[in-house]
């Protein structure tokens, strides 16, 4: 079976890759392009406040390397610490490229880069009211995730661990509860460090993973992008196949309990 029979649907659009990638921290735009291509991603997120996608007419433009006809450009609000800043940033993105599918992140502080859920919720409400399709970065807090879904967010994106930490999924129980309750796509966003981390996320039933640092800071970013693509596919196929039950002994006739990880 191919990916084509198992689409990821976000805001009514079909995607066949479940890996979303960022564009920061690369050596140069050519490396960005090569890594994005190797990742197989169809959705590429761009920090509007840091990356030139048309704001500076006379400088190198990311979109000359990543063709918007091929990739879905997902503007994000990285670097915003208030709802107001985040909303303004999304409006700017819409003016620049007509993008209304956005990734909202409103951070609580510069050190940990954890989201501020109150400011995030305020921004999400405003953006949804203005017609944006909001993919929202959040803590792995089941009640908050449900709130974002009920508010009308197009996708909810709980973190695995702090942005850029590479620590991998810290709380599988939270993700599991979030997934049980969800009616919109749940994507793990932030904290992934290597290919097995993304496989775990997909095996838990997450609809996709968004990452950036784990590729950009790898020794060989292009090869790591390939690894991440394979890790997502491995995890998705394992999830769809349905894993064996765990047992304490190989010869046990009755399995332990499959509900632990």
The residues carrying an active-site annotation are 103
Binding mask 188-227 for a second copy (x = CB under 8 A): --x--xxxx--xx--x---------xx--xxxxx-xx-xx
**Which among 240, 256, 233 is positioned nearest to 205, based on CA atoms?**
240
Rounded-to-integer distance, Cα 245 and Cα 258, Å: 5
Find the shortest distance in angstroms from Cβ 56 to a second copy: 25
Rounded-to-integer distance, Cα 99 and Cα 109, Å: 27
Of the two residues 142 and 185, which places its CB atom closer to a second copy in the complex?
142
Rounded-to-integer distance, Cα 212 and Cα 194, Å: 11
Establish if 9 lies at the interface with a second copy (CB under 8 A).
no
Of the two residues 188 and 190, which places its CB atom closer to a second copy in the complex?
190
- List the interface residues with a second copy, window 131-170 (CB under 8 A): 139, 141-144, 146-147, 161-167, 170
Binding mask 12-51 for a second copy (x = CB under 8 A): ----------------------------------------
Rounded-to-integer distance, Cα 93 and Cα 15, Å: 22
Helix (H, G, I), strand (E, B) or coil at 118: helix
Find the shortest distance in angstroms from Cβ 177 to a second copy: 6
CB atoms within 10 A of CB 200: 22
Find the shortest distance in angstroms from Cβ 123 to a second copy: 14
| Bridge partners (DSSP) listed for residue 15 | 8
Question: Phi/psi at 19 (nearest 5 deg)?
Answer: -110, 125
Residue of 22, 40, 75, 115 that binds a second copy (CB under 8 A)? 115
Rounded-to-integer distance, Cα 156 and Cα 224, Å: 25
Q: Which parts are annotated binding residues for 1-deoxy-D-xylulose 5-phosphate?
A: 164, 190-191, 212-213
């Amino acid at each position: 079976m191919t990916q084509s029979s198992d689409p990821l649907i976000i805001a009514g659009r079909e995607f066949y890759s479940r890996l979303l990638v960022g564009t920061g921290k690369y050596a140069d735009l050519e490396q960005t392009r090569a890594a994005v291509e190797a990742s197989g991603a169809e959705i590429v997120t761009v920090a509007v406040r840091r990356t030139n996608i048309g704001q500076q007419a006379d400088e190198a433009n990311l979109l000359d390397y990543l063709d918007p006809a091929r990739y879905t450009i997902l503007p994000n609000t990285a670097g915003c610490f208030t709802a107001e800043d985040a909303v303004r940033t999304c409006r700017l993105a819409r003016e620049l490229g007509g993008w209304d599918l956005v990734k909202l992140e409103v951070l609580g502080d510069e050190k940990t880069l954890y989201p501020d859920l109150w400011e995030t919720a305020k921004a999400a409400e405003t953006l949804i009211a203005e017609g944006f399709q909001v993919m929202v970065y959040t803590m792995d807090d089941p009640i908050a995730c449900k709130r974002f879904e009920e508010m009308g967010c197009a996708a909810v994106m709980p973190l695995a661990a702090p942005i850029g930490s590479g620590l991998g999924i810290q709380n599988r129980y939270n993700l599991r509860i979030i997934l049980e309750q969800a009616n919109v796509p749940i994507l793990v966003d932030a904290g992934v460090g290597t290919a097995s981390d993304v496989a775990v996320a997909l095996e838990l039933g997450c609809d996709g993973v968004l990452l950036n640092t784990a590729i950009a800071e790898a020794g060989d970013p292009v090869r790591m992008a390939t690894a991440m693509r394979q890790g997502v596919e491995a995890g998705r196929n394992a999830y769809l196949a349905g894993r064996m039950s765990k047992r304490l002994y190989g010869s046990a006739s009755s399995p332990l309990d499959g509900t632990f990880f």
